[in-house]
Structure formats: C-alpha cells, structure tokens
Amino acid sequence: MPIDPAKLAPPGVRTLAPYIPGKPLEELEREYGISDSIKLASNENPLGPGQRALAAIAQTTRQIGLYPDGSGFKLKQALARKHGCGTDCITLGNGSNDVLVLIAEAFLSPQSEAVYSQYTFAVYPIAVQATGATARIAPANPAGHAMPLGHDLVALAQLINERTRLVFVANPNNPTGTWVTADALRRFIAAVPEQTLVVVDEAYIEYVSDSDFPDASRWLGEFPNLIVTRTFSKVYGLAGLRVGYALSHPSVADMINRVRQPFNVNALALAAALAALDDAEHLQRSVETNRAGMAQLRAGFEALGIHQLPSAGNFVMIDCGRPAAAVYDTMLRRGVIVRPVGNYGLPNHLRITIGTREQNERMLAALKQALHP
C-alpha cells in the first residue's frame, strides 16, 4: 500500500486549516448565473487605485521582461522618509500577509510559542502553525465590553512566557473592527519582555481619525522588539498587486530579509506603491468615502435593528442574531458578497466592507430582504 504523500508534510502543515478568502465576483456570477454583482467581502478600497498609481503601472509594463529591483530601493527610500526611519528598518513583502509569514519563519521554531487574540486576522494562526510553533490564543473581550470581541491586552500578556517569540496585535482588528488605545498599547508593549517581539498590524490605520489611536511606528526607536506592519491593499487600493511592509529595528529587518525571496515584490507593485504614496488626494478621497459610508451603514443597520460592533476600519461586523450562513446566502443570490465569519468562531456574525454610496444602498437592501423577507 503506497503511503499518502500528504503524510510527508510536518504535523503543523498537515493540520493547517487553509485561509478562506472572500468569494470572488466571477465565481458568484458563474455559480448563480447573475451579473452586475458587488463584493464587500475583503476590505478593499471601493474606489480602487488612484490615477498616479495607474499611470505608474502603465509606464512600468514595458519593464516587466526584467526582474524587479529586489532591494526595492526607491520605495524603501520613500517609506523611510514617510516614517522618519532608515531604509534598513524596512522589509518589503508581497502584501503584508507575506511579511507576516516571513516574520513567523524568521523567529519561530517548533520549540517556541506565539500569542494572539481569539478573534483576529486568520493569517496569524496559519503563519504560526506552519513553523511548528505553538499558538497560545487569548480570550477576547466579552460581548458587553466597550470593544466587544476585541483584544484583551491583559489576557494576551498573561500568555507570554520565556518561549514566546511573537505576539500579534492587529489594530484596528480584523474581523471585529475594534481597536486598542495608544495608552493601553504602549503600556502593553513596554511590559512585554525583550525576548518577545510584538507585531502591531496596522493594515487599516489610514482610516482611523480617533485622537486616542496609536501610530505604533512612532515607538520603534524605543522598543527594539516592536514590529509594525502596513499594507498598500486597503486605503491605497492596490490589493491585487500585493505589496506591504514591516518597520522594525534594523537587526530584526535583517533577520526577516534573510528568509525573504529575493524578488518578492513585483515591478508593477513597486512602481504603483511609490506613486500611491505621493497621491494625497486619492488617499483623502478614499478616507472620506469610507467615513461617509460608515455613517450610511451605521444608520442602515440601526434602522434594521441590527447589533453592530464599533469599527475604526473600512468594514463593520454585525450580529445577525441568528446563523449568518442563510443571510449570507440570500444576499449572494441578490448579487451582494459579504463575509461570513463562522471560520473565526462567530457563526451569527457577518463582516461587511464599506463600499461606495450605491454599493452600500444595495447591500442594505439585500440585507433587509435576507432578514425580513
């Protein structure tokens, strides 16, 4: 009897639950025989990329016969200026997802542990488990908390021991949208022992206007065990190109760069990200669209009597008060893709990305239909 070659993979890989992405538009339209559907399932920018990024992509297409600049020199220079750090603090990735996986590869081993919260970004468990390290999962805030289902920093701190190499804190958090304040996060980081790296994932930070909200990159000089990750997939509208980065102490960046593929960020992504950094107008328009959409969704959910979580991102999580799978399915049939989060252990909740005004209207109508047919 031949052996199942899957058994050749180490246990951490064999037992991985693969990441479940938002349903692609094309798949929905193929399966249901519909057209003109909308996707509010993956926290993308409904405006897409700005004109400057598009122009940079068009210009760069002529160069794609060549390998990209593996050092990402120009983009790193621009990011170093933006963050007031040296280029040696920056690691570029094929999306911040790539950076998160590289951090796990560089710092975890089957002998070490990583800590994250109960309802947080699904890539952390995958990145950790693939290395053979042990994941310790902290209970989230209770439903009645001001930040329901969000990070309980005390519970996270309690799980840190001498084997802990990484702690992941998404701020704002996905899928809940909740956040931790500057004071609380700073106190947490200051109390983490120096042999544990704190990864603060700021994928949605550009959307946040709260004066209490931390930009953890400002603390990099103080905490050599701090890593901050950012992405061009959200407010910059470049999710399809895949580019993100980590900011850290140069020694940490050196370690992450050792496991990085030499050309992990493609030429179009490098050019588009560089141009996007210069497009303040698109950034502002994207943030404003999100702010207006957030108000529209809040009012719409309230009118439908739906419980909604606080959110500082470009998405809102709602509690349908019943299994969300049927609600999701009815919305799909009306051409609206949102995100069920049963895989996060939240079977009654849906995570909904904020779209344009028209998309939001259509989503709210589909939701109403699904809840009150």
Ligand X SMILES: Cc1ncc(COP(=O)(O)O)c(C=O)c1O
Contacts to ligand X from residues 193-232, by CB under 6 A: 201, 203, 231
Shortest Cβ contact with ligand X: which residue? Answer: 95
Q: Of 143, 144, 89, 154, which Cα lies nearest the Cα of 115?
A: 154
Interacting residues with ligand X between 162 and 191 (CB under 6 A):
170, 174
DSSP H or E segment with residue 199:
strand 197-201
168 vs 370 by CB, closer to ligand X: 168
Q: 43 or 196, CB closer to ligand X?
A: 43
In whole angstroms, what is the distance from residue 206 CA to residue 216 CA?
A: 13
When asked if residue 248 is in the footprint of ligand X (CB under 6 A), the reply is no
- In degrees and rounded to multiples of 5, residue 198 shows phi and psi of -100, 120
Residue in the structure block whose two tokens are 């943030």: 287
The CB-of-202 to ligand X minimum distance in angstroms stands at 8
Number of neighbouring beta carbons within 10 Å of residue 2: 4
* Nearest Cα to Cα of residue 171 among 131, 140, 143, 199: 199
Q: How far is the CB of 77 from ligand X (least distance, A)?
A: 20
> Is 95 a binder of ligand X (CB under 6 A)?
yes
Q: Which is nearer to ligand X, 244 or 300 (CB)?
A: 244
Q: Which of residues 251-310 bind ligand X (CB under 6 A)?
A: none
For the bound state, the minimum distance from the C-beta of residue 238 to ligand X, rounded and expressed in Å, comes to 9
96 binds ligand X (CB under 6 A): yes
Evaluate whether 288 touches 295 at the Cβ level (below 8 Å): no
* Pair 43, 353: CB distance under 8 Å: yes
Binding span for ligand X by CB under 6 A among 6-14, 90-98, 219-227, 272-280: 90-98
Query: Looking at beta carbons only, is 168 or 223 nearer to ligand X?
Result: 168
Q: Residue 123 or residue 318: which is nearer to ligand X going by CB?
A: 123
Under DSSP, the state recorded for 56 is H
Does residue 121 interact with ligand X by CB under 6 A? yes
Shortest Å, Cβ 279 to ligand X: 18
| Residue 97 interacts with ligand X (CB under 6 A): yes or no | yes
Give Cα separations from 355 to 47, 95, 233, 365 (angstroms). Answer: 8, 21, 15, 14
Give the one residue of 68, 72, 237, 244 binding ligand X; rule: CB under 6 A. Answer: 244
Quick one: which of 233, 257, 264, 353 contacts ligand X (CB under 6 A)? 233
Cα–Cα distance, 283 to 277 (Å, whole number):
9
Complex with ligand X: residue 43 or 164, whichever CB lies closer: 43
Q: If binding is defined by CB under 6 A, does position 79 make contact with ligand X?
A: no
**CA-closest candidate to residue 212, choices 159, 282, 146, 154:** 146
Q: How far apart are CA 365 and CA 373, in angstroms?
A: 11
Per CB under 6 A, the segment of 94-102, 136-144, 255-263, 298-306 that binds ligand X is 94-102
| Count of residues that interact with ligand X, criterion CB under 6 A | 13
Which token pair is 157? 């701190």
Residue with smaller CB distance to ligand X, 121 or 188? 121
Residue 353 near ligand X by CB under 6 A: no
Q: How many CA atoms lie within 13 A of 16 on its CB side?
A: 22
Looking up tokens 């037992």, which residue turns up?
Answer: 15
CB of 227 or CB of 370, closer to ligand X: 227
Instruction: Report the alpha-carbon distance of residue 162 to residue 176 in Å, rounded.
Output: 29
- Residue 215 is encoded by which pair of tokens? 């930009």
CA distance 149 to 151: 7
Residues 32-61 close enough to bind ligand X by CB under 6 A: 43
CB of 79 to ligand X, least distance (A): 14
Binding site for ligand X (CB under 6 A): 43, 95-97, 121, 170, 174, 201, 203, 231, 233, 239, 244
